[in-house]
Amino acid sequence: MDNIALTLENVTGKGHGFKLKDISAEFENGYIYAITGKNGAGKTTLFNYILAQRKRYTGSIKVSGYELERNHAKAMEIIGFVSEDNVFFENRTGKQNADILGLVYDDFDEELFNECMKKMNVSTATTLWRMSRGERMKFQLAFAIAHHSRLYLLDEATAGMDAVFKIELFDMLRELIAQECCVIMTTHDMTEIMKNTDYVAVMEDGRLGEFSESIGCIV
């Protein structure tokens, strides 16, 4: 199996408004990558380029070797996305959401979903609108794990979360990368980056800098 989870080659936005500029990078399985930078630098925009069904860029994005433009559905099976802006059924429980959305994925594992929710101390019987922000993030991660994602994109998933949540989350992420998955997360927290991630790069004005080892990094 190819060890490259995500490849970006000269990715540049097209159309009007804010655009990313000539981004090239490779992300290997088995590591946690952090992308940091000021608000509006382009971090979330990069994830949107990867997730959007309509191509909004020139250049190439490959997910586990699959060219995104020609294999979008396959790429979405591989990707697990965790974000406050993710769309689910707010008036339904975690279990009901999993039952409905799990139908999209041929290999969705309900037993694994329940195990993950229990491990992260989130009830599957709680409706999403009653969940705290931290519980929603955990629900999304459990859902992504249950459809056997290999590439995890976490957009500011730890922002405003307490220390206990972060410990539980990174314990789970370490288990995932031990299974040869890849995690890419956006965050402003430099302490978190240095303690819990392997590589970090700075996004500024739509450009992504070089990745360097997170331990002892200075941004």
The pair of three-digit structure tokens given for residue 3, joined into one six-digit string? 């060890």
Neighbours of 189 (CB within 10 A): 16
Residue type, 117: M
Q: What's the burial of 106, exposed, middle or buried (CB within 10 Å: 0-12/13-18/19+)?
A: exposed
3-state helix, strand, coil in the chain (%, to 5): 35, 25, 40
Q: 191: which residues sit within 8 A by CB, 6+ positions away?
A: none
The CATH fold assigned to 4-213 is: Rossmann fold (3.40.50)
Share of the chain above pLDDT 90, in %: 71
Distance CA 72, CA 61 (A): 10
Q: What is the pLDDT of residue 218?
A: 45
Whole-model pTM?
Answer: 0.92
Q: What is the DSSP string of 154-169?
A: EESTTTT--HHHHHHH
Greater pLDDT, 190 or 7: 7
pLDDT in tens, 41-74: 999 999 999 998 778 899 999 999 999 989 999 9
Q: 60: which residues sit within 8 A by CB, 6+ positions away?
A: 7, 8, 9, 10, 11, 67, 68, 69
Q: What is the pLDDT of residue 161?
A: 83
Distance CA 52, CA 60 (A): 14
Distance CA 192, CA 108 (A): 31
